[in-house]
């Protein structure tokens, strides 16, 4: 609720704080158990920061995250450490997130040791089981990350996230670094695992086509703000925010008859250190009105759980 995260900007000769970037600006949403919420936006829109702040990998500036009845930002370090068992993260670059000097078996066993789960023999069995569930039963745990392909490394990253039997996994662009053919394999694996382990996902991606099949609902972020959030089919068929519309127009359609106009956004994404007044999208919006330059649109339900922050909604009544 009302999640906010700012980072200081340092500058000048003395390197003191000269300003701040509002990376996540008043973002609110919920995720139901067993659901997949897709979170989409261009790089720098705050989607990764949102994920990391929920996990408290970054300390929040303001707002609140409630997870299974616990207010995460109020937990003491030891309580947060315990809560992390239920919340895990999968990162974009499996190579960077796996210690190159650690054997795969060590990488997978580590979270079990940290959380005091099982004795040495049980942990060893667990590691085998984890490799099995991510489809790597044939590999030897004594090997090192560089001995695996990108897709295999991401499977290892997923196995590591699963090791503590979490309830929620925040996956930050888990397939963005992979070849298209490998992407769908990893996505399918994640969907299978979701069923098998009753997982809830927040799935972060930079384009709408990646999250289409996996998501129950999809949220779109722009310059640190959540601008639209809707049930999946609703968002893809009836986007209400002009930014979502533009993103969707870039997604290839399988049906060549279904012609659609590609909406080209003019101008660059403004600097998050100096976001435009009013609606942050207004300098690039094809539907911009006078009010958009002055007043920030509120994020509200347009009906049926379809939330949008755009003044066009008020105009339509």
> How far apart are alpha carbons 217 and 215 in whole angstroms?
5
Q: Which is nearer to ligand SF4, 47 or 241 (CB)?
A: 241
Q: Which two tokens stand for residue 208?
A: 């709408």
Q: How far is the CB of 110 from ligand SF4 (least distance, A)?
A: 45
> Do 210 and 30 form a contact (C-beta atoms < 8 A)?
no
Residues in the chain, total: 317
Select the binding partner of residue 160 from Mg ion, ligand SF4, none (C-beta < 5 to 8 A, by kind).
Answer: none
Q: Which of 281, 299, 306, 307 binds ligand SF4 (CB under 6 A)?
A: 281
Nearest Cα neighbor of 41 from 279, 271, 203 is 203
Does residue 310 touch ligand SF4 according to CB under 6 A? yes
Residue with Cβ nearer ligand SF4 (189 or 312)? 312
Q: Which stretch binds ligand SF4 (CB under 6 A): 49-57, 213-221, 245-253, 275-283?
A: 275-283
* 225 makes contact with ligand SF4 (CB under 6 A): no
Is residue 35 within 8 A of residue 217, CB to CB? The reply is yes
Q: Does the protein bind ligand SF4 through residue 167 (CB under 6 A)? A: no
> What is the DSSP secondary-structure string of 231-288?
EHHHHHHS--SHHHHHHHHTSPPS-TTS-----PPPSPPPPTTSPPSSSTTGGG-TT-
Nearer to ligand SF4, 94 or 275 (CB): 275
Q: Which does 117 bind (CB under 5 to 8 A by kind): ligand SF4, Mg ion, none?
A: none
- We find the least distance from the C-beta atom of residue 301 to ligand SF4, in angstroms, to be 16
User: Scanning residues 19 to 58, which ones bind Mg ion (CB under 5 A)?
Assistant: 48
The residue within the footprint of ligand SF4, chosen from 190, 282, 306, 307 (CB under 6 A), is 282
Contact between residue 230 and residue 310 where contact means Cβ atoms under 8 Å apart: no
Token look-up 């499977």 returns 155
Q: Could you tell which of ligand SF4, Mg ion, none binds residue 289, using a CB distance below 5 to 8 A set by kind?
A: ligand SF4
Interaction between residue 285 and ligand SF4 (CB under 6 A): yes
Cβ within 8 Å of residue 159, ≥6 positions away: 108, 130, 131, 133, 134, 136
Q: Is 263 in the site for ligand SF4 (CB under 6 A)?
A: no
**Which residues are near Mg ion by CB under 5 A?**
48
Q: Which residues bind ligand SF4 (CB under 6 A)?
A: 241-242, 279, 281-282, 285, 287-289, 292, 297, 310-312
């Amino acid at each position: 609720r009302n999640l906010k995260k700012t980072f200081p900007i340092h500058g000048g000769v003395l390197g003191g704080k000269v300003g701040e970037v509002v990376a996540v600006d008043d973002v609110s949403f919920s995720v139901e158990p067993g659901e997949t919420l897709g979170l989409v936006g261009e790089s720098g829109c705050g989607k990764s920061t949102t994920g990391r702040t929920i996990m408290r990998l970054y300390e929040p500036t303001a707002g609140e995250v409630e997870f299974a009845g616990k207010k995460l930002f109020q937990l003491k370090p030891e309580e947060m450490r315990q809560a992390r068992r239920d919340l895990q993260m999968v990162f974009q670059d499996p190579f960077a997130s796996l210690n190159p000097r650690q054997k795969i078996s060590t990488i997978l066993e580590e979270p079990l040791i940290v959380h005091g789960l099982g004795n040495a023999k049980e942990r060893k069995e667990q590691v085998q089981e984890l490799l099995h569930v991510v489809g790597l039963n044939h590999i030897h745990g004594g090997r090192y990350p560089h001995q695996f392909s990108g897709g295999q490394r991401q499977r290892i990253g997923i196995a590591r996230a699963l090791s503590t039997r979490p309830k929620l996994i925040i996956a930050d662009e888990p397939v963005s670094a992979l070849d298209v053919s490998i992407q769908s394999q990893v996505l399918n694996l994640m969907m299978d695992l979701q069923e098998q382990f009753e997982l809830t996902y927040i799935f972060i991606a930079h384009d709408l086509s990646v999250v289409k099949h996996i998501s129950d609902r999809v949220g779109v972020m722009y310059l640190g703000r959540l601008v639209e959030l809707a049930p999946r089919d609703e968002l893809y068929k009836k986007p209400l925010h002009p930014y979502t519309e533009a993103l969707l127009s870039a997604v290839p359609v399988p049906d060549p008859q279904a012609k659609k106009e590609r909406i080209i956004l003019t101008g660059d994404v403004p600097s998050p250190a100096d976001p435009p007044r009013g609606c942050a999208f207004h300098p690039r919006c094809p539907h911009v009105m006078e009010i958009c330059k002055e007043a920030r649109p509120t994020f509200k339900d347009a009906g049926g759980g379809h939330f949008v922050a755009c003044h066009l909604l008020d105009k339509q009544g």
